């Protein structure tokens, strides 16, 4: 971690954000918005005025344009971060791509609440080379979602991975435990969505004038009013799987935003934390969603990259409790050279 710039308290926390080529030329407030999820433009501007510095200690302004490969510094007083799981398994490391199995509860990127307790920081601590460069995350998972995260270990690999995601050349599979027993074994969900126009701004809503959003679904098991499903997102909208499952009447167990009570559990948890009564209503302490498999062209070699992560212990235990029997995973497709834990 970089030391605080001149003029700042020596005990301050320094958050660093390297500007990728595709973000060069953006205003600083817009760049910070992209790097800190769920941050409003107004809040980003307040943070920049209070915390943004150059390495020489001079302050930065929200309207400044960022340059490729420069490092933006946000300096804030040290604070106590909430405890989260910090350990993660490495699923694949071939020198170009690092695939890790993110535990539920570990945030991906720094925010107003988290700094060291993020996957970004832990990757830097564990894998940074002599030049200080760490593997760069190529896509996002919600904090509560567990499973596969791909990172580029070189600039070329990072750029190629991100281009694959942007070009929709990545096939992703998720596992989820949902409320209710779905009638059909398979289903295609095609419901456009967009950020909500009012209410809790982190949420998404179905709108005919929204962005096209498609999900395929296959039921793997049913029991006692619950289903374990395999999900294949054909588009990559924020909260897409959670919104789509809620829309068809089968919300994910533990979902604090799109379950039967909508956002009420989310707001309650902010006030009280996870209480036994709230957990009983939700069915689980986090939404039961896991990034299970991923398949895409290898970013630097002429071959396909395939990675698998099995259902994690907390969701395996949840299914055992709900169904009264363990979940038996389907065998891998024949000929698939997967890497799994």
Residue pair 221/311 in contact (Cβ under 8 Å)? The answer is no
Residue pair 290/242 in contact (Cβ under 8 Å)? The answer is no
142 counts as catalytic = yes
**Count of positions (residues) in the chain:** 341
Task: Please identify which of the residues 142, 184, 190, 209 carries the catalytic annotation.
Answer: 142
Please state the three-class secondary structure of the chain as a single string: CCCCCCCCCCCCEEEEEECCHHHCCCEHHHHHHHHCCCCCHHHHHHHHHHHEECCCCCECCCCCECCCCCEEEEEECCCCCCCCCCCCEEEEECCCEEEEEECCCCCCCCCCCCCCCCHHHHHHHHHCCCCCCCCEECCCCCCCCEEEEEEECCHHHHHHHHHHHHCCCCEEEEEEEEECCCCCCEEEEECCEEECCCCCCCCEEECCCCECCEEEEEEEEEECCEEEEEEEECCCCCCHHHHHHHHCCCCECCCCCCECCECHHHHHHHHHCCCHHHHHHHCCCCCCEEEEEEEEECCCCCCEEEEECCCCHHHHHHHHHHHCCCCCCCCCCCCCCCECC
CA distances from 1 to 48, 60, 77, 222, 265 (A): 19, 20, 15, 48, 36
Residues catalogued as catalytic: 142
């Amino acid at each position: 971690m970089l030391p605080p710039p001149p003029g700042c308290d020596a005990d301050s926390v320094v958050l660093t954000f390297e500007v990728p080529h595709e973000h060069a030329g953006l205003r600083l407030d817009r760049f910070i918005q992209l790097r800190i999820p769920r941050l409003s433009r107004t809040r980003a501007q307040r943070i920049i005025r209070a915390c943004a510095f150059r390495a020489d200690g001079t302050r930065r302004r929200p309207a400044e344009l960022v340059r490729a490969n420069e490092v933006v510094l946000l300096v804030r007083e040290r604070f106590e971060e909430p405890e989260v799981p910090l350990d993660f398994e490495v699923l694949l490391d071939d020198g170009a791509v690092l695939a890790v199995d993110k535990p539920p509860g570990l945030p991906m990127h720094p925010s107003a609440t988290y700094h060291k307790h993020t996957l970004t920081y832990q990757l830097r601590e564990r894998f940074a080379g002599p030049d200080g460069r760490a593997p760069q995350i190529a896509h996002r998972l919600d904090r509560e979602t567990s499973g596969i995260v791909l990172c580029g270990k070189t600039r070329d690999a990072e750029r190629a991975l991100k281009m694959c995601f942007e070009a929709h050349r990545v096939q992703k599979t998720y596992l989820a435990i949902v409320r209710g027993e779905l009638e059909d074994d398979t289903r295609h969900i095609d419901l456009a969505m967009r950020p909500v126009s009012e209410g809790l701004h982190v949420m998404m809503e179905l709108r005919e004038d929204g962005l096209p959003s498609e999900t395929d679904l296959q039921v793997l098991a049913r029991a006692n009013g619950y289903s374990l499903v395999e999900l294949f997102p054909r588009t990559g909208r924020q909260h897409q799987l959670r919104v789509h499952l809620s829309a068809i009447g089968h919300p994910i167990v533990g979902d604090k935003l799109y379950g039967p009570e909508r956002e009420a559990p989310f707001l309650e948890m902010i006030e009280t934390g996870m209480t036994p009564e709230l957990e009983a209503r939700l069915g689980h302490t986090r939404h039961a969603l896991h990034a299970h498999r991923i398949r895409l062209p290898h970013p630097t070699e002429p071959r396909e990259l395939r990675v698998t992560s099995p259902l994690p212990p907390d969701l395996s235990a949840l299914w055992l409790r709900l169904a009264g029997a363990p979940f038996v995973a389907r065998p891998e497709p024949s000929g698939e050279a997967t890497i799994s834990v």
